[in-house]
């Protein structure tokens, strides 16, 4: 279906023609009930949408658009196991990963929930053995370091959550995450380690990803050089859907934790891909995280769009990106623990909706997925916030902030946290309401500086607050964004669950690697620039 043919689409185009007139100062002045009406409470999250440049009429038409494209039916189709990932002929059932025992989710007529819980049970038993010291390495020593080797969805979710939930980690066990095929990543991770106390978790849905397999092979060589080949069984486990490749690599499938093709890589942190996280925080905290995910799944499934937080966040993004031509969105967690959250969201959003062909095979005639980027506050304030406040482009921002400091026991934690939160609130205030030339002129007499010191304001943001960053709250946050991304994909008519755009580079790299390593004179038949780059590299390496 072409969403641009709907009635609400045309109405939104009309609204967008006067986007410049949508002024936050005016919207707030005219409507004292705006903040209450536009602040949603969902589980532990409070989502303040009031600082968005949407009038009640725009919101009504966005909601009408969601209805015209069948958002609710599409979500129901997803959670009911329909094969909505049509280009890969797969169901999309990450929501089943957090379904409680007793709930039925059918995929091809079979209830998948018992298998999900059986796997959670196996993961939990293994995590408990590693945590208690019962699982020992080849020399009999307990594990002290878990290294997750994976990339994309097999890295970003676990590392983001491991960092976010630092306060909940096991005292003896630390995790490290190796993703980049640049050997420096692995070398930095193992340099100071004793192989005898190190466990590698090789995480790859397909178990064919070049970067992960290369890192895993080098890790295996590092380990066996000091402990011998028999040590692999005690120091390597795999997380994958591909038992054949796991066995071919040399990992016993008894030490493999599986999941299913209906879990997309970027939607997999709550599957067995979360094994390293579960070892760090324990099965109970992991289960608590799943309840957080589930709370938002239920909200998304059961709440009318007008009060549905992920749906409204997605619709507002569609408004900015498609109708108002705003190219990017900043994600600004005021929480050091969430320092990897923007990177996590980059894959979630941009690999899902960075597409220009609709699910029906037709090219879109409108802008789709925004560029997602960000850094934790307050650091960003001292680098790119200048552009957010006074640059020529309007960039909507997401602020994420918590009531409680992460390390409440630390002397001075309250003072730090109050300052952090004050800065967060000040940034969204400054972005929204700016400072007029008249206001600047009250204290500045030089007319030149008046213009330099004026802030245009009218720059939109969402503020998401929760009492504290707990496992459940983290699950809620991730699910909130998952369903926001889903909403955008449905409105744009995209398949948010494939990623064909990563294929070409993989194929070309396979063709180039042989030319780099060729002992003789390689037959270079690439474009002139690529040929020259290959020659330059070869000459740098004396080949």
Binding footprint of ligand F6P on the chain (CB under 6 A): 151-154, 204-206, 209, 212, 265-266, 351, 499, 502
37: left (phi over 0), alpha (psi -120 to 50) or beta: alpha
| Active-site residue (options: 171, 382, 411, 442) | 382
State the nearest-atom distance from the C-beta of 154 to ligand F6P, in Å: 4
Torsion, CA 178, CA 183, CA 184, CA 187, rounded to 10: 70
Active site residue 288: no
State the nearest-atom distance from the C-beta of 129 to ligand F6P, in Å: 25
- Taking the least distance from each CB to ligand F6P, the nearer of 163 and 351 is 351
Query: Which secondary-structure segment (H or E) carries 238?
Result: strand 236-240
State the nearest-atom distance from the C-beta of 186 to ligand F6P, in Å: 16
- Taking the least distance from each CB to ligand F6P, the nearer of 54 and 273 is 273
Task: Please tell me the total number of residues recorded for the chain in this structure.
Answer: 543
Both tokens of residue 257? 């934790």
Peptide bond into 378 cis (omega under 30): yes
**Phi, psi at residue 462, to the nearest 5°?**
-105, 140
| Active-site residue (options: 163, 211, 288, 351) | 351
Separate counts of helices (H) and strands (E) for the chain: 23, 13
- Taking the least distance from each CB to ligand F6P, the nearer of 95 and 154 is 154
State the nearest-atom distance from the C-beta of 209 to ligand F6P, in Å: 3
State the nearest-atom distance from the C-beta of 427 to ligand F6P, in Å: 32
- Taking the least distance from each CB to ligand F6P, the nearer of 209 and 335 is 209
- Taking the least distance from each CB to ligand F6P, the nearer of 204 and 335 is 204
Residue where the block lists tokens 């001292």: 382
Burial 414-449 (b: 16+ CB within 10 A, else e): eeebeebbeebeebbebbbbbeeeeebeeebeeeee
Asked if 137 and 107 touch (Cβ cutoff 8 Å), the reply is no
- Give 348's contacts (C-beta < 8 A, 6+ positions apart): 266, 267, 481, 482, 485
**Phi, psi at residue 198, to the nearest 5°?**
-115, 135
Question: What DSSP designation does 254 have?
Answer: G
Question: What DSSP designation does 351 have?
Answer: I
State the nearest-atom distance from the C-beta of 156 to ligand F6P, in Å: 8
State the nearest-atom distance from the C-beta of 175 to ligand F6P, in Å: 17
Distances (CA, A) of 103 to 72, 78, 99: 20, 15, 6
Distances (CA, A) of 445 to 87, 217, 362, 440, 442: 63, 67, 58, 9, 8
Distance of CA 178 to the CA centre of its chain: 17
Active site residue 406: no
Which residue in the shown chain puts its C-beta closest to ligand F6P?
Answer: 265
- Taking the least distance from each CB to ligand F6P, the nearer of 267 and 334 is 267
How crowded is residue 275: how many other Cβ atoms within 10 Å of its Cβ? Answer: 25
Active site residue 506: yes
Distances (CA, A) of 171 to 168, 179, 199: 9, 24, 16
- Taking the least distance from each CB to ligand F6P, the nearer of 381 and 488 is 488
CA angle, 357 then 362 then 368, to 5°: 40
- Taking the least distance from each CB to ligand F6P, the nearer of 214 and 390 is 214
State the nearest-atom distance from the C-beta of 376 to ligand F6P, in Å: 23
Catalytic residues: 351, 382, 506
């Amino acid at each position: 279906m072409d969403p641009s043919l709907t009635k609400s689409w045309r109405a939104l185009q009309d609204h967008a023609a006067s986007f410049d007139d949508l002024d936050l100062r005016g919207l707030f002045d005219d409507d004292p009930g705006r903040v209450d009406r536009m602040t949603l409470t969902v589980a532990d999250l409070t989502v303040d949408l009031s600082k968005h440049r949407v009038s009640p009429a725009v919101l009504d038409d966005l909601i009408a658009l969601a209805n015209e494209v069948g958002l609710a039916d599409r979500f129901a189709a997803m959670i009911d196991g329909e094969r909505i990932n049509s280009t890969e002929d797969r169901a999309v059932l990450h929501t089943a990963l957090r379904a409680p025992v007793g709930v039925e989710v059918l995929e091809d007529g079979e209830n998948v929930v018992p298998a999900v819980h059986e796997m959670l049970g196996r993961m939990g038993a293994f995590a408990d053995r590693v945590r208690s010291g019962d699982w020992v390495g080849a020399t009999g020593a307990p594990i002290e370091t878990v290294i997750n080797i994976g990339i994309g969805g097999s890295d970003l979710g676990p590392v983001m959550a491991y960092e976010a939930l630092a306060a909940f980690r096991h005292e003896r066990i630390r995790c490290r995450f190796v993703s980049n095929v640049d050997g420096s990543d692995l070398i930095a991770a193992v340099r100071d380690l004793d192989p005898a106390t190190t466990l590698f978790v090789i995480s790859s849905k397909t178990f064919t990803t070049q970067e992960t397999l290369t890192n895993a092979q080098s890790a295996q060589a590092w380990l066996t050089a000091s402990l011998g080949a028999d040590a692999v069984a005690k120091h390597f486990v795999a997380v994958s859907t591909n038992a054949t490749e796991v066995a071919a690599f040399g990992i016993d499938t008894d030490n493999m934790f599986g999941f299913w093709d209906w879990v997309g890589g970027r939607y997999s942190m709550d599957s067995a891909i979360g094994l390293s996280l579960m070892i760090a925080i324990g099965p109970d905290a992991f289960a608590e995280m799943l309840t957080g995910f589930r709370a938002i799944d239920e909200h998304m499934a059961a709440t009318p769009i007008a009060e549905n937080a992920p749906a409204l966040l997605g619709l507002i993004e569609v408004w900015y990106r498609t109708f108002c031509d705003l190219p990017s969105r900043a994600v600004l967690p005021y929480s050091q623990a969430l320092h990897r959250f923007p990177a996590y969201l980059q894959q979630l959003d941009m690999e899902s909706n960075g597409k220009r062909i609709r699910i029906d095979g037709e090219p879109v005639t409108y802008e789709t997925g925004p560029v997602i980027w960000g850094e934790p506050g307050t650091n960003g304030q001292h680098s790119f916030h200048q552009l957010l406040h006074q640059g020529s482009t309007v960039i909507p921002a997401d602020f994420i902030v918590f009531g409680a400091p992460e390390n409440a026991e630390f002397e001075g934690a309250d003072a730090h946290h109050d300052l952090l939160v004050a800065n967060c609130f000040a940034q969204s205030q400054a972005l929204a309401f700016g400072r007029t030339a008249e206001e600047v002129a009250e204290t500045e007499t030089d007319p030149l500086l008046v213009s330099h010191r004026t802030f245009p304001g009218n720059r939109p943001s969402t503020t998401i607050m929760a009492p504290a960053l707990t496992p459940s709250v983290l699950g809620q946050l991730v699910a909130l964004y998952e369903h926001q991304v889903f909403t955008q994909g449905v409105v744009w008519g995209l398949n948010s669950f494939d990623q064909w755009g990563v294929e070409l580079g993989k194929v070309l790299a396979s063709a180039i690697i042989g030319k780099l390593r060729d002992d003789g004179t390689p037959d270079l038949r690439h474009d002139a620039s690529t040929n020259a780059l290959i020659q330059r590299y070869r000459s740098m390496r004396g080949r």
